[in-house]
Structure 1
Amino acid sequence: MAEFTLGRHAHGNMIAALAKVSRNGTQRGLGTLVGIVGIFTASLILSFYAIVSGWMIGFGAAYPLKAAGASATATWLSEFGLLRNLTLMLIFMILTMAVVVGGVEKGIERWSKRLMPALIVTLMALSIYVLTLEGAGKGLAVYLVPDITKIWSTELIFKAMGAAFFSLSLGVGTMLIYGSYVSDDEHLPSLGAQVALVDVGIAVLAGFLILPAMYVAAERGVVIFNEAGGLLSEDTLIFVVLPALFDSMNQAGTALAVAFFGLMSIAALTSSISMLEVPVAFLVERFQWSRFKAAVIATLIVTAMSSVIVLNFDLLFGLVITASTRYSQPILGLALCLYAGWVWRRDILLKELAKNELETEPTLFMRWWPWYVRFVCPTIILAIVARTIF
């Protein structure tokens, strides 16, 4: 909400937004620094995200090629390799740029309206199918039956908050940029609630697919637990466990693999266009470049960054993920909260929030949110940062 509100108030990029709410030169200078770091961090996240998303495209294409008899090409697309990583990353970046070049209405908005329904329908269809397979019930029980002993686990809470930061790309200006495109006729609190509900809804729906699928894989002899007894996750889950499941299902596995990796590629593209829009919006506003020129330049820069990571994968991949998502994002989120809660004049903040408000009296949200963003939100983010560092 802080990013949405700052963005619509300024109708500009992160640097412009923080400068507009600043009251003196020091605040404007710090705001400029925060904005620059935010733009760089968004680009950094996209640089490693494009590599992983390229893998998803590769795996999705490998299965039908293998079924068609092109085993050598399928193997090349699904096995780790320098040329393969660079090629697939470049393909994904070109797809992302193609959407962003179209602008807000003809590019981002039009494709989001197409991709999001496709994402949800595919996710629902896959979930329903997987739930019919042997072993899915165990995964469903693990997903839906809570472990009360861990409900107040600080580690679990911090992981959940960290996941929220990454899921919505908070702190790096993506929500702020989207907020800058929101009309003054829109009711921001309602819009913010809708975004949060959609994000949570998709995450919940994904749980009905992923955990049952893991236990279906276990039923077929696939290892799904690590040495510590925990479920395998992240890249091991997507690129090792689930492909092993698909391989065990013959023709049905091929169809399921294409649908799953197609789903993951769609999800990745909906995220990547928002991240690329951050530097593109800055270049368009700051240098008065055409959207095409800004998108091409930003894509080339991110592609170069991504190529450096690919060429030094063992050294840089994990380091970039840690630096950008575990450190930069929470710190930038804290800075945005401080600007929204402490730097921005409260009366102007409330006026921005109240646009298109139907109630004549201040709503409950209008009463508590300014205090939340001033005290509660910074405290929570500080706790995340402290937990990460110490």
Structure 2
Amino acid sequence: MATIRDSFHSRLGFVLAAAGSAIGLGNIWGFPTQAANNGGGAFVLVYLIVTILLALPALYAEIYLGNQTQKNPVGALSEACQRFMPKAGKAAGLIGLMGAIMMLSFYTIVAGWMLAHALAALTEMLGMVELSTWLSSSSMTRDLLFTPIFIVLGAAIVHQGVNAGIEKWSSRLMPILLFMLIGLIVYILQQPGAMEGLAVYLIPDFSQVTDPKLVISAMGQAFFSLSVGVGGMMVYGSYMKKGKDLGKLVVSIAALDAFIAFLAGLLIIPALFVAQTAGVEVFNNGKLIGEGQLIFSILPTLFNSMGEMGLVISFVFFALLSIAALTSTISVTEVPVAYLVEEKSYHRTKATWLISALVFCTSLLVIVFFDVLFELVIQVLTTLIQPLMCLFYFIVVGWIWQRGNKLRDQAAIEAKPALKWWANYLRFVCPILLSVVFVNVAIIN
């Protein structure tokens, strides 16, 4: 008896869920930090160019593969490559699953930090100063407590299914995230020093635009931010019925993702200069002090200087980050869950909790060997696995699928010149551009 696949029930539900997958810590934590360390407006400009030229096509290719096959990433890539190299397609799908587990292994740790800091502000407001201090202080004990809490939160949504869990909660959480972000921006921009940060953020230093390191950082940020290369968008695409205008949907997702990243920069970069105006040391020789610890050292210091209002701002800010992390976590968790449900005939509940247990074990390894593994896992994922998987998507869609190019065949049938142009761009230009970036990475390293 055939199993009826769960699916999204509306275009808006799909866009909000997919945007929720894309909009996460990469936007609100990673993007402003990268911008601050890579020329402000120059990084923003290069990021937008890389997103349009490479990340958006990769997003389209990933969603298209899932939508046309109506399968999880392993099944989708196996089917797309079945005429020429089915084993390679399956292997690529499994690498994508490994990438999803890798992403979750560090992502849930950082998400746990966000949740702990939100509770730290709340407990301080309630007068529980000792507990607040412990929650806001880095420790292995705190990581061992809050990482599984966050994993369980994601699993509780995923096990409910696509429509009842992912679509419903994404539709609730995304508007809350946007409202909170805009509210924080309005407040921060009224503080002393904010306009100086705004100028740094919005005015590009064109001398840095051609810096290879900046371009590579922007590419890694664009792929990580849009959540491409680990199969999350592919499995979401498979839950949309065929026949939808994927081009418009993909542009909507990418535009919403870039918009949130841009808003996050409007919040974080001016906040840095507000902190600097208040006497907090933020930059050293043009670079952020602490870089990745920006969110957990500089900004909390700024919030503390604001008195009671600072506690409210701190709670809202870290709650915002927790929501962003949760919407991304559920999409990445769905990748291996869908594989177990469809390829191994697991019940969704069993698959969800099994994957969650696996994620906790890998996160535990990262926590225990933090100094060695944390940065390494992020580096391997964002500069190797995700770009390589995107390159594979371009090759599959452009050259392998159905004797060469499924999109070109469709364009010929439907007599759509724009679709044919788009197919040729995916087929020829995107692999070349991505290969050039890889060559630069090799040269720099």
Decide whether the 8 Å contact of 1:327 with 1:388 is kept in 2.
no
Q: How do residues 341-380 of structure 1 correspond to structure 2 at under 5 angstroms?
A: 341-345=398-402, 346=404, 348-350=406-408, 361-364=415-418, 366-380=419-433
* 2:83 aligned partner: 24
* 1:6 aligned partner: 65
Decide whether the 8 Å contact of 1:280 with 1:295 is kept in 2.
yes
Query: What is the rounded CA distance, in whole Å, between the counterparts of 2:412 and 2:75 in structure 1?
Result: 22
278, 286, 297: which is aligned to 2:343? 286
362, 371, 383: which is aligned to 1:305? 362
* 2:11 aligned partner: none
2:255 alignment partner AA: L
* 1:96 aligned partner: 154
Query: What is the rounded CA distance, in whole Å, between the counterparts of 2:83 and 2:428 in structure 1?
Result: 22
Decide whether the 8 Å contact of 2:97 with 2:231 is kept in 1.
yes
The alpha carbon displacement at 1:314 in A equals: 1.3
Query: What is the rounded CA distance, in whole Å, between the counterparts of 2:275 and 2:185 in structure 1?
Result: 14
2:239 alignment partner AA: Y
281, 290, 293: which is aligned to 1:236? 293
Q: Deviations over 1:205-240 (max 9, x none)?
A: 1111011111001011111113x3223475221111
The alpha carbon displacement at 1:129 in A equals: 0.6
> In terms of mean alpha carbon deviation, does 72-81 or 253-262 score higher?
72-81
The alpha carbon displacement at 1:353 in A equals: 7.7
* 2:184 aligned partner: 126
The alpha carbon displacement at 1:24 in A equals: 3.4
Decide whether the 8 Å contact of 2:216 with 2:441 is kept in 1.
no
Instruction: Give the direction of change, closer, same or farther, for the CA distance of 1:171–1:81 in structure 2 (3 Å limit).
Output: same
The alpha carbon displacement at 1:152 in A equals: 3.1
Query: What is the rounded CA distance, in whole Å, between the counterparts of 2:309 and 2:412 in structure 1?
Result: 53
* 2:7 aligned partner: none
Q: How do residues 313-352 of structure 1 correspond to structure 2 at under 5 angstroms?
A: 313-345=370-402, 346=404, 348-350=406-408
* 1:139 aligned partner: 197
CA RMSD of aligned residues (A): 1.8
Q: Deviations over 1:91-131 (max 9, x none)?
A: 11011111111111011111111111111111101001100
Decide whether the 8 Å contact of 1:187 with 1:354 is kept in 2.
no
* 2:329 aligned partner: 272
Query: What is the rounded CA distance, in whole Å, between the counterparts of 2:159 and 2:149 in structure 1?
Result: 15
Decide whether the 8 Å contact of 1:97 with 1:296 is kept in 2.
yes
Decide whether the 8 Å contact of 1:48 with 1:320 is kept in 2.
yes
Structure 2-normalised TM-score? 0.83
1:293 alignment partner AA: K
Structure 2: segments with no counterpart, 5+ residues: 1-59
237, 252, 256: which is aligned to 2:313? 256
Decide whether the 8 Å contact of 1:246 with 1:254 is kept in 2.
yes
Alignment coverage as a number of residue pairs: 383
2:67 alignment partner AA: R
2:421 alignment partner AA: W
* 2:130 aligned partner: 72
Instruction: Give the direction of change, closer, same or farther, for the CA distance of 1:301–1:198 in structure 2 (3 Å limit).
Output: same
Query: What is the rounded CA distance, in whole Å, between the counterparts of 1:144 and 1:302 in structure 2?
Result: 39
Instruction: Give the direction of change, closer, same or farther, for the CA distance of 1:385–1:213 in structure 2 (3 Å limit).
Output: same
Same amino acid, percent of matched pairs: 41
Decide whether the 8 Å contact of 1:57 with 1:88 is kept in 2.
yes
The alpha carbon displacement at 1:347 in A equals: 5.7
* 1:38 aligned partner: 96
Query: What is the rounded CA distance, in whole Å, between the counterparts of 2:80 and 2:230 in structure 1?
Result: 17
Structure 1-normalised TM-score? 0.94
* 2:8 aligned partner: none
Q: How do residues 112-123 of structure 1 correspond to structure 2 at under 5 angstroms?
A: 112-123=170-181
| Residue 303 of structure 2 is aligned to residue 246 of structure 1 | yes
Instruction: Give the direction of change, closer, same or farther, for the CA distance of 1:23–1:277 in structure 2 (3 Å limit).
Output: closer
Q: Structure 1 segments of 4 or more deviating over 4 A?
A: 350-355
2:389 alignment partner AA: L
Query: What is the rounded CA distance, in whole Å, between the counterparts of 1:50 and 1:88 in structure 2?
Result: 9
1:15 alignment partner AA: V
1:258 alignment partner AA: F
Instruction: Give the direction of change, closer, same or farther, for the CA distance of 1:381–1:187 in structure 2 (3 Å limit).
Output: same
Q: How do residues 180-219 of structure 1 correspond to structure 2 at under 5 angstroms?
A: 180-219=238-277
Decide whether the 8 Å contact of 1:7 with 1:13 is kept in 2.
yes
Instruction: Give the direction of change, closer, same or farther, for the CA distance of 1:274–1:289 in structure 2 (3 Å limit).
Output: same
Query: What is the rounded CA distance, in whole Å, between the counterparts of 2:336 and 2:357 in structure 1?
Result: 12
1:343 alignment partner AA: I
2:442 alignment partner AA: I
1:24 alignment partner AA: R
1:131 alignment partner AA: L
The alpha carbon displacement at 1:304 in A equals: 0.6
Decide whether the 8 Å contact of 1:342 with 1:374 is kept in 2.
yes
